[in-house]
Amino acid sequence: MRGEALKGHLDLLLLAVLHRNPAHGYAVIEELRRLSGETFDLPEGTVYPALHRLERNGMIASRWSEESGRKRRIYELTPQGRKALEVYCDEWHRFADGVNSLLREVNVPCVA
């Protein structure tokens, strides 16, 4: 997966994962990989800064957790984040419909 493909859709993915369950950063990465069918295997340098940004913007909130001596920062959606997720989800569908519509119209010869 080329990196640029993700741009502008990462927030949707992260909010979606956290909508399922509150989780810490490392778990988010794993869940993202698992739930996307191994499609998204994001590096920490991508996910951690993005989580910080989402928290800074009030989309998610975090608390420290210490289970079995391990420090983890647990993130969960705020009400605002829940709303944003719906908006992003709508935008995603309109975007995907637009691309698919175009590809259908021009009859692009995909390998798949």
Q: How many CA atoms lie within 13 A of 81 on its CB side?
A: 26
Q: Closer CB to a second copy, residue 20 or residue 63?
A: 20
**Residue 92 contacts residue 9 (beta carbons within 8 Å):** yes
Q: Based on the shown chain and the rule CB under 7 A, indicate whether residue 51 belongs to the binding site for DNA.
A: yes
Q: Which is nearer to a second copy, 45 or 66 (CB)?
A: 45
Selected range binding a second copy among 48-56, 58-66, 67-75, 95-103, rule: CB under 8 A? 95-103
Using alpha carbons only, what angle is made at residue 23 by residues 32 and 26, rounded to the nearest 5 degrees?
Answer: 60
- Looking only at residues 52 through 91 of this chain, which bind a second copy when binding is defined by CB under 8 A? 85-87, 89-91
